[in-house]
Amino acid sequence: MRDLTIHKFRRIYDKSSEKFTINIKYSTRAEITPRTVKVAEAFGLGIDEDKLHVIYDNAEFRIGPTYIVYITGESGSGKSVLLKAFQKDLGEEAINIDGIQPDPEKPIIETIGRDFNEALELLSRVGLNDAYLFLRKYCELSDGQRYRYRIAKLIESGKQFWLMDEFCATLDRETAKIVAFNIQKQARRTGKAVIVATTHTDLLEDLVPSVHIHKGWGKRLETNYYPNQINAVCSVTKDLRIEEGTMKDYEALSEFHYRSVHAHPAPIKVFTLKRSDNELVGVIVYSYPPPQIFGRRIALGKTLSIHELNKELASISRVVLHPKYRSIGLGAHIVKETLSLCGRHYVETMAVMAQYNPFFEKAGMKRIAERQPEKSIIKAIQSLEHLGFKPYLLSSQQSNFNNLETMKKAEIQEVRRILLKISTVYYKRLRSTSEVFLKKDDLKTG
């Protein structure tokens, strides 16, 4: 085994001037073995001599608390050593993504945020904004989703400096660019700093770094400083186009929408978001509006007939993006660019996710009202709970079917009475054991 001695001289961090001074050198001496002796003899080397290697020689870096720092260079050139030096100097102000240890066996919605609302907001900000995805465990996520989750944990930490070694090294390059764009956006939005190190040099456009440090072999070092400006456009969006599509396009992406199993209203127009190679990135569906919807009269100041509704109004019933392309503003983009193309004077939509990811408002739509639970529904849920129904499983047809199968006739009649008390305006169809959809009037005759 060879002897190795690390020498560090005058590693200084002056917080007031935001300047780091780094000196890193190490010396090695070969172990004497029959073969190392032969190498020394063949090449005329002094085998007992120390060999000094200089990595950073009085190198100075200016890094502010809101800078994006991009460290590049070949493997073994000294990127990781520099990142570790920064982390040691920054101390408690810094957090390293490698230090985040997610609980692999809990749903991710349970492992982030102080409460439910903060958890949804944090996950939505990094593109993990799918209802079913919230229920998945960390161990069930893809590499790209795991990286996004850990970025959400960086945001949650409140630390001023976010550090990442081997940045996006395991991701395909397109996903890496999306992640790079998103992390600089989130850092600049929250007034934080990012310091990343990687062998890849293709992230410059999406990170838009304030400081680019390129480390070569030996003492070779190049440092460039740029204005600390927000990057509003991810490079992967530059070749995207919007064109009219069909419901087949929606069906191709429907698996990525939590309401894909529900019946879809009759469509008016479908538009797609595609790459130059025709890969389908997103889809938006404009449908005929329902006869009644909360907030419509507040928005229009009048009541429209069915004929007027169908002629003048469209409802955005689906906006679906491929999971890979989330968090880079494409939801707002596809809405904004198609609002004038659907052929209606008014466009409305209702969306739970809009509370945590206001992309409709970013597209120019106006939030009208937030619907509160109807009192008759709340009371019905409470009554059904007394009969053994679990509130969080009431949307599960299989769970309801299992409950009804084990009930006595009198209990089923009680369920019937409870459902009849729900306001007609908010009444939901009930699926019976005979696979028939019943209306409220059908329950009266039983």
Ranges of each domain in the chain? 1-62, 65-235, 239-362, 375-445
Fold of 239-362: Aminopeptidase (3.40.630)
CA quadruple 141, 190, 166, 210: dihedral sign: positive
pLDDT mean across residues, the chain: 87
Of residues 438 and 372, the one with the higher pLDDT is: 372
C-alpha distance from residue 239 to each of 236, 255, 283, 284, 382 (Å): 7, 25, 16, 18, 52
Distance from C-alpha of 26 to C-alpha of 4, rounded to nearest angstrom: 7
With bands split at pLDDT 50, 70 and 90, how would you rate the model's confidence at 320?
very high
Confidence of residue 3 (pLDDT cuts 50, 70, 90): very low
- Give the model's pLDDT for residue 53: 75
Residue 437's pLDDT band (cuts 50, 70, 90): very low
Model confidence pLDDT, tens digit, residues 362-403: 999 999 887 766 777 788 888 888 888 887 677 677 878 888
Q: Which of 147, 40, 157, 140 is nearest to 92 (CA)?
A: 157
Q: How confident is the model at residue 445 (pLDDT cuts 50, 70, 90)?
A: low
Q: What is the CATH number of domain 65-235?
A: 3.40.50.300
Displacement of CA 232 from its chain's centroid (Å): 16
Residue 429 confidence (pLDDT): 39
Identity at 31, one-letter amino acid code: E
